């Protein structure tokens, strides 16, 4: 039967520290232009849909 060994607490702590550092680095990276363009398009589409669903005001004649 195969026995699974757990890493020592110091190894676990070091891996956790390195993963947190890498995650923080990734969070500081700028978003790619293609993703920014997609987010802008989605925002504009959402505003357009919202405007279409808004009830029309009655105009006085």
- Report which of 51, 48, 31 is spatially closest to residue 39, judged by C-alpha positions: 31
pLDDT at 58: 60
By residue range, what is the domain housing residue 26?
14-51
Q: What are phi and psi of 41, to 5 degrees?
A: -65, -45
**Who contacts 7 (Cβ-Cβ below 8 Å, separation ≥6)?**
15
Q: State the sign of the Cα–Cα–Cα–Cα dihedral 30, 36, 42, 46.
A: positive
Q: Is residue 9 part of a domain?
A: no
The length of the chain in residues reads 61
pLDDT on residue 10: 95
The reply to whether 20 falls in a domain is yes
Q: How many domains does the chain have?
A: 1
Is the pLDDT at 61 greater than 60? The verdict is no
Does residue 37 sit within a domain?
yes
What is the tens place of the pLDDT at every residue in 12-46? Answer: 999 999 999 999 999 999 999 999 999 999 999 99
Q: Of residues 56 and 38, which shows the higher confidence score?
A: 38
Measure the CA–CA gap between 10 and 12, rounded to whole angstroms. Answer: 5
Q: Is residue 7 part of a domain?
A: no
Higher pLDDT, 2 or 33: 33
């Amino acid at each position: 039967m195969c026995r699974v060994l757990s890493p020592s607490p110091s190894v676990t702590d070091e891996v956790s520290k390195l993963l947190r550092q890498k995650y923080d680095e990734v969070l500081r990276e700028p978003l790619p232009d293609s993703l920014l363009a997609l987010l802008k398009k989605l925002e504009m589409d959402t505003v357009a849909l919202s405007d279409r669903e808004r009830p029309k005001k009655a105009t006085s004649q």
